[in-house]
Amino acid sequence: MSVFLSNLEIHSINLWLSIMHHYKYTSKSQRANKAKEILQLKYKKVGNGRQRIVYDLNNGYVLKVALTEFGIQNNKTEFKIYNHCRANLRKHLCPVKEVGHGWIIMKKMDIKVPDGIYNKELTQLKNKFLAAGIRPRDMGNSNIRLSKKGKITVVDYGNFIMY
Ligand SMILES: Nc1ncnc2c1ncn2[C@@H]1O[C@H](COP(=O)(O)OP(=O)(O)OP(=O)(O)O)[C@@H](O)[C@H]1O
Ligand SMILES: [Mg+2]
């Protein structure tokens, strides 16, 4: 049961998850296209990485569906880190709303971080994560956004490691 997704949508996700291993060795974009074709969701795709395809739920949230086993793991990691880290770091993590097997729903964040001018803040934030025992892997430009208040917020922390 989900607040955001219908049973039919969850059924489609489960169908995709059951066959995604066939596309393990195809390219990132081919895998995302195949997932999109099978998922048949009514939402607009906002992006995809190597591990997940991302849809705009049109209510201020995005849905990320795993494209690989690693993507399933990434979703679990985000749920775990978001719910277990301290408030001073959590404010830099894109809020997680709901999770299920192979999927996660997060706040939609659109403001890209301009190149260059945030380097100092970025380094400070990475150090803050490290000091808290979290290795902030892959905190590159495609994985971060700015909050309305201008704070750096990580939208893809699936590869972070919490010790
Ligand atoms: N919360 C969000 N709000 C808006 N767009 C998002 C959000 N999360 C992800 N995206 C978009 O979707 C893309 C893919 O999402 P994400 O980086 O989480 O997938 P991934 O497969 O884990 O990526 P990677 O290849 O870096 O491991 C992002 O680069 C970004 O453009
Ligand atoms: Mg990413």
Query: Which atom of ligand 1 lies nearest, measured to the CA of 51?
Result: 21
User: What is the mean predicted confidence (pLDDT) over 117-125?
Assistant: 95
Cβ contacts of 22-25, under 8 Å, gap ≥ 24: 23/67, 24/68
The CA 80 to ligand 1 mean position distance, Å, reads 17
Quick one: angle between helices 28-39 and 7-19, nearest 10? Answer: 140
**Could you tell me how far CA 111 lies from the centroid of its own chain?**
15
Per residue in 28-44, pLDDT (tens digit) is 999 999 999 999 999 99
Average pLDDT estimate for 100-127: 96
Q: Residue 93 carries which side chain, given as an amino acid letter?
A: L
Long-range (24+ apart) CB contacts under 8 A made by 113-120 are 113/141, 113/144, 113/145, 113/146, 113/152, 115/141, 118/152
The token pair at 128 is 């803050």
Please enumerate in sequence order all residues whose Cβ is within 8 A of that of 9, keeping only pairs 6 or more positions apart, or say none: 2, 41
How far is 39 from 125, CA to CA, in rounded Å? 36
Task: Provide the pLDDT for residue 17.
Answer: 98
Q: Verify whether ligand 1 is closer than 6 Å to residue 102 (CB atom).
A: no
Q: Is 52 in the pocket of ligand 1 (CB under 6 A)?
A: yes
Q: Point out the ligand 1 atom lying closest to the alpha carbon of residue 110.
A: 4
On whether the CB atoms of residues 118 and 152 are closer than 8 A, the answer is yes
**Given pLDDT bands bounded at 50, 70 and 90, which one contains residue 1?**
confident
Pocket flag, ligand 1, residue 109 (CB < 6 Å): yes
On the question of pLDDT at 140 being above 90, the answer is yes
pLDDT, one tens digit per residue, over 9-67 is 999 999 999 999 999 999 999 999 999 999 999 999 999 999 999 999 999 999 999 99
Q: Indicate which ligand has the atom closest to the C-alpha of 61.
A: 1
Ligand 1 contact, 138 CB (< 6 A): yes
Query: Is the CB of 47 inside a 6 Å radius of any atom of ligand 1?
Result: yes
